[in-house]
Amino acid sequence: MRSSGKTDTGSKRSNNQDSIYYSDKPVGPLPNLYIVADGMGGHKAGEVASAIAINHLTEEFYRLETLGDKEMTIDWLRNIVTEINNKIFDYTKENPDSKGMGTTLVVAIKTDEFILYGNIGDSSGFVMKNGKLTKVTKDHSLVNLLVSTGELTEEEAKYHPRKNVLMRALGANNPIDIDIFDVEMNVNSLFLCSDGLTNMLTVEQIEKVLNDKELDIEECFDKLIKKANARGGNDNISVAYLKKESGDL
């Protein structure tokens, strides 16, 4: 089993507002934690928001003596998300220039008994099974809402001028809630990314790179980032990945 992650500024942005975290060794109560946070806001405020999310979540995670069962883990994650949201709002009160900052969040928690995904915003969580990459999370975006109500088709949503408008983000909604997804255990890998990747590449294109047996995990990331930048690289690009070399997780 291998874990890794990478983040890239992209071709058009001057700074990277994404933050990532990944683990592959037992530290604290759980062996694996993966997070991608895509910050937003001017004056470098977006990178502050994403860092607050990553730092608080990881600090509280590794402070635990035990996390408990699946339901306890879900309750813990919901509480931590509320704390992160409060921290971001507190920061903006103390730093008026950062008003409007926020961040998406996608997190994966894997134990020997269960796998959970949680997300806020439009960063994505996928699973790979039998060579097929499937998205687990659902975007909290305006276009996704319009697709769900039948006002837009999937194809129209790809090119909609308000594609990047979020309906939910940390630092933008109060109170806030995180969507939780219970993932089946018999998958081959977990893959998280910011929309800087999914806006540039299709799921099929990402899947093809991840399935390339001639590439190691870091080479897969390099190729995905290179492809995203070649297609415009309009945003920061971040990925986190847990892959079992053979069999299921």
Tens digit of each residue's pLDDT (9 = 90 or more) over 114-126: 999 999 999 999 9
Q: What is the model's pLDDT at position 30?
A: 66
Please list the residues that pair with 19 across neighbouring strands. Answer: 37
CA pair distance 78, 118, nearest whole angstrom = 9
Instruction: Read off φ and ψ for residue 228, nearest 5 degrees.
Output: -65, -40
**Mean pLDDT throughout 127-154?**
86
End-to-end Cα spacing for the chain:
8
Q: Give the whole-angstrom CA distance, residue 35 versus residue 37.
A: 7
Cite the DSSP H helix spans in the chain: 45-63, 70-94, 142-148, 154-158, 195-198, 203-210, 217-230
**Amino acid at residue number 22:** Y
Answer yes or no: is pLDDT of 183 > 60.
Answer: yes
Rounded to two decimals, the pTM is 0.93
Mean local confidence (pLDDT), 30-53: 90
**Cβ proximity of 127 and 191 under 8 Å:** yes
Residue 157's pLDDT is 66
Q: For residue 126, what pLDDT is reported? A: 98
| CA dist., res. 152 & res. 109, Å (int) | 33
202, amino acid identity? T
The yes-or-no verdict on residue 234 having pLDDT over 60 is yes
Summarised one tens digit per residue, pLDDT across range 190-230 is: 999 999 999 999 999 999 999 999 999 999 999 999 999 99
What is the residue whose two structure tokens read 């990945």? Answer: 241
Q: Look at residue 103 in the predicted model and tell me its pLDDT.
A: 97
175 has pLDDT over 60: yes
> What pLDDT, on the 0 to 100 scale, is given for residue 161?
64
Give the mean pLDDT of the chain.
Answer: 91
Q: What is the pLDDT of residue 128?
A: 97
Least confidently predicted of 11-20, 71-80, 137-146, 240-249: 240-249
Using 50, 70 and 90 to split pLDDT, how confident is the model at 29?
low
User: In this predicted model, which residue has the larger pLDDT, 52 or 68?
Assistant: 52
Q: Phi and psi at residue 193, in whole multiples of 5°?
A: -160, 160
CA pair distance 230, 33, nearest whole angstrom: 30
Question: Are residues 189 and 241 in contact, defined by beta-carbon separation less than 8 angstroms?
Answer: yes
